[in-house]
Amino acid sequence: MAAHARRTFGDALMSTGAVVLLLLMLVAIDDRVREQVSASFRTAPSTDLVSAGTILQNIATIVFSAARHQTIQHAPLVIFVVAASLLTLFMIRT
């Protein structure tokens, strides 16, 4: 049972790391995402607590917009990466 819990924790940690890595890549690539993230860290803590929902919604909107724009711009590469990921997943599972 301890091995199962350790594996579950490791999988959750890897998934979280992948999301953080994706967000960092978007921040490095897209200026709109970089500006929004830096603006959220520049605000005063009291105003940050009051408008946390609005800030998160703005960041999510810009991240999804940037991801969609990058995906449309690099569609062949995205298709290749998705296909390679699926093939790798199937190879690991068997």
- pLDDT one-digit tens code per residue, 53-64: 777 788 888 888
- Tell me what the pLDDT averaged over the chain comes to: 80
Residue 39 has pLDDT above 80, yes or no: no
Burial degree of 70 (CB within 10 A; 0-12, 13-18, 19+): middle
pTM of the model: 0.45
pLDDT digits (tens, 9 = 90+) for 9-20: 888 888 888 888
CA distance 22 to 5: 26
Q: What angle do CA 43, 47, 49 make, to 5 degrees?
A: 110
Residue 43 has pLDDT above 70, yes or no: no
CA distance 82 to 74: 12
Q: Which residue blocks in 1-94 are alpha helix, DSSP H?
A: 2-29, 31-42, 45-50, 52-73, 75-93
